[in-house]
């Protein structure tokens, strides 16, 4: 009998997408073939502390999270420098990690660094690709260098805020802009801005989530198009999907994405001119490779009234909730939910095997010999 792969499913986290992650993890857990995989659950609390399988299962099953967390903390030695990850020690043989942590910890390279230290395979992009793709400013710099169209922008920080008045922004980017924290997901802290008062309020709010803020040129009444990417060195792209938000909503925000999508229309696959489908697909695959992403990504686009596409941003650990488009776009492209999960695990194992062949040479220094030092007077 073939030994089952023991998978650690990590979810939660100390980001604004904590509850989104819990929903995604539920769906992935249900889709994991229990004939192939033994699954242990590990939830990062809102404080960034990892809970073990038993406590994580309680929360998974609907027990009050705050109560379970409080009781778990009482049993932990918080003075230990390893307290945030000590729960991993309860499982002696973890073969593979499946992170479903959206936003901080999960998509910024942090958890990938832990997996690298543990020398274990995992789903998704590595440290560098995750960090670059999570930072909207770095993403834009890299895809711009690769010749991939995206909207003009400026970076505002607490240090240079005084230099970027609304008047200067309007002169540089026009009178429709979007204010975005550089390192946040799920539209958290994002504001549509058309005047000075909205601009200052948007910056005040965005600075709660990051100290680097993007102010991007807006596109009037764009189509919001998404595409799913799957693979390592030779990625494949799904058919395209579209998100049609109610006319009264300024953009596809957190509420639309995860709380109440009853007014949102998901068009799968979206009907667009073939040349536009080809262009978006090509841009997405180029961006995936330019950023060094592996495993999976959902890449979002805005298409203006002239059918010109602009790459919005990539998501290295996209949502797997019932509303999320990443798995739905693969469904309409011929890959079932359970098959998709299997493929992601295989891609993680293949990437680990590939990286294990990289050599590190260590040279002994021998006796240190220092040359003569000459000090000059000022």
Catalytic residue among 186, 187, 238, 333: 186
Please give the average per-residue pLDDT across 49-62, as a whole number.
Answer: 96
Given this model, what pLDDT does residue 256 score?
46
> In order of start, what are the domains of the chain with their CATH numbers?
5-122 (3.40.50.20), 152-217 (3.30.1490.20), 223-354 (3.30.470.20)
Distance separating alpha carbons of residues 26 and 162, to the nearest angstrom: 45
Do the beta carbons of residue 133 and residue 123 sit within 8 Å? Answer: no
pLDDT digits (tens, 9 = 90+) for 75-130: 999 999 999 999 999 888 999 999 999 988 899 999 999 999 999 999 999 999 99
As annotated, the binding site includes 300, 313, 315
Could you give the 3-state DSSP secondary structure of residue 334? coil
By percentage, how much of the chain surpasses pLDDT 70?
95
Catalytic residue among 16, 187, 324, 333: 324
pLDDT digits (tens, 9 = 90+) for 245-298: 876 656 544 454 444 556 789 999 999 999 999 999 999 999 999 999 999 999
Active site includes 356?
no
Q: In which residue are the tokens 């802009």 written?
A: 177
Positive or negative torsion for Cα 285, 153, 319, 100: positive
pTM (two decimals)? 0.92
Query: What average pLDDT is seen over the chain?
Result: 93
pLDDT digits (tens, 9 = 90+) for 34-44: 999 999 999 99
Buried-exposed string 6-15: b where 16+ CB fall within 10 A, e elsewhere: ebbbbbbbbb
DSSP state at residue 255: I
Could you give the 3-state DSSP secondary structure of residue 257? helix
Among 172-176, 302-306, 334-338, 364-368, the minimum mean pLDDT is found in: 364-368
Active site includes 324?
yes
Given this model, what pLDDT does residue 255 score?
52
Active site includes 228?
no
As annotated, the binding site for Mg(2+) includes 300, 313, 315
Distance separating alpha carbons of residues 312 and 298, to the nearest angstrom: 11
Given this model, what pLDDT does residue 258 score?
45
Catalytic residue among 17, 65, 107, 279: 17
Given this model, what pLDDT does residue 320 score?
93
By CB neighbour count within 10 A (0-12 exposed, 13-18 middle, 19+ buried), where does 352 fall?
middle
Contacts of 238 (CB under 8 A, 6+ apart): 227, 228, 229, 230, 329, 330, 332, 333, 335
């Amino acid at each position: 009998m073939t030994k089952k792969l023991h998978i650690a499913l990590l979810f939660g986290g100390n980001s604004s997408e904590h509850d989104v992650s819990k929903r995604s993890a539920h769906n992935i857990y249900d889709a994991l073939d229990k004939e192939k995989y033994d699954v242990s659950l590990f939830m990062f609390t809102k404080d960034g502390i990892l809970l073990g399988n038993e406590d994580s299962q309680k929360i998974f099953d609907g027990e009050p999270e705050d109560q379970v967390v409080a009781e778990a903390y009482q049993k932990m030695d918080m003075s230990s420098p390893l307290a945030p990850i000590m729960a991993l020690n309860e499982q002696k043989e973890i073969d593979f990690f499946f992170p479903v942590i959206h936003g901080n910890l999960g998509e910024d390279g942090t958890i990938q660094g832990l997996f690298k230290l543990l020398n274990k395979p995992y789903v998704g992009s590595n440290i560098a690709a995750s960090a670059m793709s999570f930072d909207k400013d770095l993403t834009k710099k890299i895809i711009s260098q690769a010749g991939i169209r995206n909207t003009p922008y400026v970076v505002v920080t607490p240090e240079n805020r005084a230099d970027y008045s609304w008047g200067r922004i309007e002169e540089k980017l026009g009178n429709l802009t979007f204010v975005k924290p550089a390192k946040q997901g799920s539209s958290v802290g994002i504001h549509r801005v058309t005047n000075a008062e909205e601009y200052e309020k948007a910056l005040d709010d965005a600075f709660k989530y990051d100290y680097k803020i993007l102010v991007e040129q807006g596109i009037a009444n764009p189509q919001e198009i998404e595409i799913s990417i799957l693979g390592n060195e030779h990625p494949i792209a799904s058919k395209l999907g579209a998100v049609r938000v109610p006319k009264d909503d300024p953009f596809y925000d957190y509420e639309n994405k995860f709380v109440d999508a009853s007014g949102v229309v998901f068009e799968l696959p979206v009907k667009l001119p073939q040349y536009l489908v080809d262009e978006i697909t090509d841009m997405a695959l180029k961006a995936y490779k330019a950023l060094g992403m592996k495993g999976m990504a959902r890449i979002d686009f805005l298409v203006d009234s002239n059918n010109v596409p602009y790459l919005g941003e990539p998501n290295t650990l996209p949502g797997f909730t019932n509303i999320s488009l990443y798995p739905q776009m693969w469904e309409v492209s011929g890959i079932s939910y359970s098959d998709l999960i299997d493929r992601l695990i295989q891609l993680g194992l293949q990437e680990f095997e590939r990286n294990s062949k990289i050599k590190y040479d260590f040279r002994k220094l021998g006796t240190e010999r220092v040359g003569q030092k000459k000090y000059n007077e000022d």
